[in-house]
């Protein structure tokens, strides 16, 4: 028993003074303790001890229970340095990998999760995340890990995140962080699937749920920010995943004409703008390194043209950064592009398995539009999800990876490969398996290791100075010259 616990028990016992005196009335020890002056002083001391216990007991048990790991020597990013720009950080993120269908897994729109221990395998992943996995990723040239996380199934009725879940998240983050890798943390599948949020945890893009949705985003980011405020610039926050109205009209289509004149889509963009702003404000206000941390934000369903056309048509806005000195915001997009090569498997709809010149043109158009509308205006781009489904077309996929990541290098864009663990899939457009999580090796049948090597070679692994003039890790990490 701890001393403070003993003191609380003791003061409760001494409340019954008469019985205490009857049992010990002949004891000098008892007479000393029953002295009114001593009792006054001692009671005050005990009250203070009890208050300390209550304070400690009421604070989140997750805070400080999983310490911030030590980074490799010379790799700390000094976020207080104005020379460490958002563009420089994004350029150093290079090529990354998603820990997909793992911490984002959930059983539905339920509240409290009943299977916190097995959630990593709920969606068919063969093994849990381990240090060996992240060692393999790093040794393969991967420099960023995006960790999609669902929170709505790990909160109570007051939206307090379960401390065990938060600690588990931090343990996995630390595995990558301790290697000197960038780690992207987000709110992932908390986009409620129903027509009305009601009493469920999460957010929607419905106007009637806007107040509740804003409260949810604020509460979740308040807690995440508190846990990670002491981590350096290797931790990157992503406000939302693919915000949309699941199952609603224009679910995937608020990214071009005629939807810009659609009042429903305009309303959805307005709510996304508000949710992004609420997340940015909450993160910045939390202090520590969060005041200067890189924050990614998406447009509708994280589609690139939803961001590009939405901004051009005045319905999508870049969040205002409260940090007016070191503005570190980045646009988050998901680009499985060109769709007919990368995902579509229906020939009648234009699907093909060879990498065509027209595909290169489409990719070029995406990157030049992103450059014009965001990169040239001080907002770098992180492609949080990308990839090409396995159509048994290894050579074409390899060419696609090389070309795609070559464009990323040209435009200082970071790209993060989506991996759902499915090397083959009954749904052929979802065969995005690269890492065999049961062995922590790249899948062999699809020659995944060669695809990864092609991507890494095209994008590179070394850091650069903020000016991009030389390969010098120390300069970008510390802001030194």
The reported pLDDT for the residue numbered 67 is 92
Q: Is the pLDDT of residue 304 over 90?
A: yes
Q: Residues 179-203: what's their mean pLDDT?
A: 91
Q: Is the pLDDT of residue 174 over 80?
A: yes
Q: Residues 291-313: what's their mean pLDDT?
A: 96
pLDDT digits (tens, 9 = 90+) for 348-378: 999 999 999 999 999 999 999 999 999 999 9
Map tokens 């899948």 to a residue: 443
Counting residues of the chain whose pLDDT is more than 90, the rounded percentage is 68
| Top CATH class, 76-478 | alpha beta
Listed ranges 116-120, 234-238, 253-257; the one with the highest mean pLDDT: 234-238
Sign of the alpha-carbon dihedral angle for 21, 25, 29, 33: positive
Q: Is the pLDDT of residue 50 over 70?
A: no
The reported pLDDT for the residue numbered 199 is 84
Give the strand pairing for 435-436 and 414-417: unpaired
pLDDT digits (tens, 9 = 90+) for 316-331: 999 999 998 889 999 9
Confidence of residue 15 (pLDDT cuts 50, 70, 90): very low
Q: Which of 242, 259, 373, 423 is an active site residue?
A: 242
User: Residues 146, 140: contact at Cβ < 8 Å?
Assistant: no
Q: Residues 62-84: what's their mean pLDDT?
A: 84
Q: Is the pLDDT of residue 222 over 90?
A: yes
Confidence of residue 474 (pLDDT cuts 50, 70, 90): very low
Q: Per the structure block, which two tokens stand in for 111?
A: 């509240």
Going from N- to C-terminal start, the domains of the chain cover 3-55, 76-478
Residue 171 bears catalytic tag? no
Residue 242 bears catalytic tag? yes
Q: Is the pLDDT of residue 33 over 60?
A: no
User: Residues 408, 402: contact at Cβ < 8 Å?
Assistant: no
User: Residues 281, 322: contact at Cβ < 8 Å?
Assistant: yes
d(CA 90, CA 238) in angstroms, rounded, equals: 13
Q: Which of 269, 325, 324 is nearest to 297 (CA)?
A: 269
Q: Is the pLDDT of residue 73 over 50?
A: yes
User: Residues 370, 309: contact at Cβ < 8 Å?
Assistant: no
User: Residues 187, 240: contact at Cβ < 8 Å?
Assistant: yes
pLDDT digits (tens, 9 = 90+) for 406-449: 999 999 999 999 999 999 999 999 999 999 999 999 999 999 99
The reported pLDDT for the residue numbered 31 is 40
Q: Residues 47-59: what's their mean pLDDT?
A: 41
User: Residues 212, 197: contact at Cβ < 8 Å?
Assistant: yes
3-state secondary structure the chain: CCHHHHHHHHHHHHCCHHHHHHHHCCCHHHHHHHCHHHHHHHHHHHHHHHHHHHHHHHCCCCCCCCCCCCCCCCCCCCCCCCCCCHHHHHHHHCEEEECCCCCCCCCCCCCCCCCCCCHHHCCCCCCCCCHHHHHHHHHCCCCEEEECCCCHHHECCCCCECHHHHHHHHHHHHHHHCCCCEEEEECCCCECCCCCCCCCCCECCCHHHHHHHHHHHHHHHHHHHHHHCCCCCCEEEECCCCCCCCCCCCCCCCCCCCHHHCHHHHHHHHHHHHHHHHHHHHHHHCCHHHHCCCEEEECHHHCHHHHHHHHHCCCCCCCCCCCCCCCCEEEEEECCCCHHHHCCCCHHHCCCCCCCHHHHHHHHHHHHHHHHHCHHHCCCEEEEEECCCCCCCHHHHHHHHHHHHHHHHHCCCEEEECCCCCCCCCCHHHCCCCEECCCCEECCCCCHHHHHHHHHHHHCCCCCCCCCCCCCHHHHHHCCC
Q: Which of 227, 259, 385, 423 is an active site residue?
A: 385
The reported pLDDT for the residue numbered 470 is 29
The reported pLDDT for the residue numbered 399 is 99
The reported pLDDT for the residue numbered 473 is 31
Q: Is the pLDDT of residue 19 over 70?
A: no
- Supply the pTM of this predicted model: 0.83
Q: Is the pLDDT of residue 472 over 50?
A: no
Q: Is the pLDDT of residue 3 over 50?
A: no
pLDDT digits (tens, 9 = 90+) for 269-279: 999 999 999 99
Give the count of beta carbons closer than 10 Å to the beta carbon of residue 259.
Answer: 22
Residues in the chain: 481
Confidence of residue 108 (pLDDT cuts 50, 70, 90): low
Q: Is the pLDDT of residue 248 over 70?
A: yes
Listed ranges 126-130, 155-159, 399-403; the one with the highest mean pLDDT: 399-403
d(CA 147, CA 224) in angstroms, rounded, equals: 13
Contacts of residue 25, Cβ cutoff 8 Å, sequence gap at least 6 = none
Q: Is 376 exposed, middle or buried (0-12, 13-18, 19+ CB in 10 A)?
A: exposed
Confidence of residue 106 (pLDDT cuts 50, 70, 90): confident
pLDDT digits (tens, 9 = 90+) for 254-267: 655 556 778 888 99
User: Residues 269, 310: contact at Cβ < 8 Å?
Assistant: yes
């Amino acid at each position: 028993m701890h001393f403070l616990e003993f003191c609380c028990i003791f003061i409760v016992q001494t409340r019954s003074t008469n019985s205490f005196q009857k049992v010990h009335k002949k004891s000098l020890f008892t007479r000393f303790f029953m002295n009114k002056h001593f009792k006054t002083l001692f009671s005050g001391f005990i009250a203070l001890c009890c208050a300390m216990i209550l304070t400690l007991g009421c604070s989140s048990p997750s805070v400080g229970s999983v310490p911030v790991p030590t980074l490799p020597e010379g790799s700390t990013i000094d976020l207080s340095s104005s020379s460490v720009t958002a563009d420089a950080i994004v350029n150093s993120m290079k090529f990354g990998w998603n820990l997909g269908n793992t911490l984002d897994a959930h059983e539905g729109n339920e509240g409290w999760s009943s299977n916190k221990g097995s959630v990593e395998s709920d969606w068919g992943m063969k093994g849990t995340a381990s240090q060996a996995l992240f060692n393999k990723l790093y040794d393969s040239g991967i420099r960023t890990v995006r960790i999609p996380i669902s929170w709505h199934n790990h909160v109570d009725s007051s939206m307090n995140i379960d401390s065990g879940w938060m600690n588990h998240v931090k343990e996995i983050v630390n595995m990558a962080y301790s290697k000197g890798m960038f780690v992207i943390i987000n709110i992932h599948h908390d986009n409620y699937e129903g027509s009305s949020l009601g009493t469920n945890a999460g957010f929607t893009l419905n106007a009637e749920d806007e107040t509740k949705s804003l409260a949810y985003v604020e509460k979740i980011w308040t807690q995440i920010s508190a846990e990670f405020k002491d981590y350096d610039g290797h931790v990157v926050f992503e406000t939302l995943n693919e915000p949309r109205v699941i199952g609603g009209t224009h679910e995937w289509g608020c990214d071009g004409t005629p939807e810009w004149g659609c009042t429903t889509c305009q309303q959805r963009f307005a709510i996304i703008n508000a949710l992004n702003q609420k997340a940015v404000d909450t993160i910045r206000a939390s202090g520590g390194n969060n005041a200067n941390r890189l924050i990614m934000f998406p447009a509708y369903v994280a589609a690139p043209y939803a961001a590009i056309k939405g901004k051009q048509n005045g319905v999508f806005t870049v969040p205002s950064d409260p940090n007016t000195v070191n503005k570190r915001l980045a646009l988050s997009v998901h680009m499985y592009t060109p769709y007919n090569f990368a995902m579509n498997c229906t020939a009648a709809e234009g699907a093909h398995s060879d990498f065509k010149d027209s595909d290169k043109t489409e990719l070029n158009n995406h990157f030049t539009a992103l450059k014009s509308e965001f990169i040239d205006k001080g907002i770098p781009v992180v492609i949080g999800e990308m990839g090409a489904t396995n159509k048994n077309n290894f050579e074409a996929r390899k060419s696609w990876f090389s070309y795609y990541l070559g464009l990323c290098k040209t435009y200082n864009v970071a790209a993060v490969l989506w991996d759902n663990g499915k090397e083959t899939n009954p749904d052929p457009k979802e065969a995005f398996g690269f890492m065999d999580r049961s062995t922590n090796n790249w899948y062999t049948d699809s020659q995944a290791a060669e695809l990864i090597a092609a991507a890494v070679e095209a994008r590179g692994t070394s850091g650069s100075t903020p000016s991009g003039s030389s390969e010098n890790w120390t300069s970008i990490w510390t802001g030194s010259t």
